[in-house]
Structure 1
Amino acid sequence: MEQLLEEGIEAVQWLDTQVVELVVDLRSPLLTKVMNSVTGLGSASAGLVFIGLCYLAGWREEFRVTLVALALSGVIVAALMVAVQRPYPPQPVCQTGGAETVAHSFPSGHAAAVAVYATVARRSEVLPFVITAAFAVAIAISRFYLGTHYFSDTVVGVLIGVGTVLVAERLLDSDRFAIPYLPDEKA
């Protein structure tokens, strides 16, 4: 079992190395500007804006699920960053030194956040899924394009985001963890 795990890790590291080499070869000034522009949409600040927009628009279910899922994913991402402490990829475009967040590559918190947005939009009757998903894909790609994460960090971030939405929905559907609606709101 240990050998199988080691082989799996080696395969992921090999794939990450191949993607880094490909991305470095594909970088261009214009694409780098675009990626630098979109990557911030996966930040914690953007998450607060997304939650606020859902609240202000009266999208109660989207607000509740997004709030819980982002909180869960934030805790999971931070814990994994501290536990794994994977260094950033070589040749980053986007400098991460001096950031006020946990300074490790694995997993991508931006990818987790945008996966939350896209998964919530997919299940929503009011949020535009195709637009949200397109932004989510662009932001996730920007993370390894800019060298702030390896490809596998981004994939795991996406899985965390999708998973936390599923957990948030379960928690909110259960009587034990339900956030009640106000009397004048409809369920």
Structure 2
Amino acid sequence: MTTAQRTHPIGARQAVAAGCLLVVVLLGVGVAASWGPQLRLDTDVSRALYAGDGRSSLVQALLDVATAPGYTVARLVVFLPVVVWLLRARRWTSAVWVTVSVVGVGLVNSAVKELVGRPRPQFADGGAQLTSLSFPSGHASGIACLVTTALVLAWPVLSRTARRWSTAAAVVLALLVGLSRMWLGVHYLSDVVAGWALGVAWTLLVVTVVQGVRWTRA
């Protein structure tokens, strides 16, 4: 295997992470600077997607199910057994980067929320009932971190077909969770997009720094 073959995956990983970080920065600056076109788009999309006040118990239950994978506890429930397995297999660096990625994304997301300071959408049964900040969406960043971590771990042992299907499933799940936050009226479009970008960027940066996965074996 040549040096170029060994280093290419890391370079691609860094490029994707940098691109995602750029998205977070640009959207965050737009919100902080009250950039009109972005705020108008956010408002129009949030109004169009909001499931409405007084929605039925069935609709509420479906939305609760759709948004659940984005909770912090969901990430911990999914990856705690994985970390235990990695430790038992003596894959120490993999256990470290998975732990840092899954736990740290919430902390990073909270820090960005405080930096930007955006209030929630003011729907009576949506963001208006929450005191926490809106940008970026913690559910969107959480699910993006979860699926990216899962793909990075599984990639070396997946066939080409399995990689395609796994990536498609990951994208669908992330989209569902992100859209559910707007259906519930608790986030704007740019909150969700920035959350997705932050989750992917954070995970890939952690992998790159810790170097817990030998991509060249894939």
TM-score norm. by structure 1 comes to 0.73
Which deviations, in whole Å up to 9, do the C-alpha atoms of 1:54-75 show, x marking residues without a partner?
A: 2245485765443222333222
* Displacement of 1:136: 2.0
Q: Which residue of 130, 145, 148 corresponds with 1:119?
A: 148
User: Could you tell me how far apart the structure 2 residues matched to 1:47 and 1:98 are?
Assistant: 22
1:185: which partner in 2?
A: none
Q: Structure 2, unaligned stretches of length 5 or more?
A: 1-28, 159-165, 213-218
Q: Structure 1, unaligned stretches of length 5 or more?
A: 179-187
* Displacement of 1:5: 6.0
User: Could you tell me how far apart the structure 1 residues matched to 2:130 and 2:52 are?
Assistant: 27
- Does residue 14 of structure 1 match 2:40? yes
Relative contact order, CA 8 A, sep 6+: which one is greater?
2
Residue 120 of structure 2 aligns to a residue whose secondary structure is coil
- 1:5/1:106 CA distance change after superposition, 3 Å: closer
Does structure 2 retain, via aligned residues, the 8 Å contact 1:92–1:148?
no
TM-score norm. by structure 2 comes to 0.64
Q: Which has the higher helix share?
A: 2
Which deviations, in whole Å up to 9, do the C-alpha atoms of 1:62-105 show, x marking residues without a partner?
A: 65443222333222211122222211112154567577xxx111
Aligned-partner residue type, residue 35 of structure 1: L
* Displacement of 1:148: 1.4
1:109: which partner in 2?
A: 138
Residue 122 of structure 2 aligns to a residue whose secondary structure is coil
User: Could you tell me how far apart the structure 1 residues matched to 2:148 and 2:41 are?
Assistant: 26
Equivalences, count? 169
CA RMSD of aligned residues (A): 3.3
User: Could you tell me how far apart the structure 1 residues matched to 2:74 and 2:124 are?
Assistant: 22
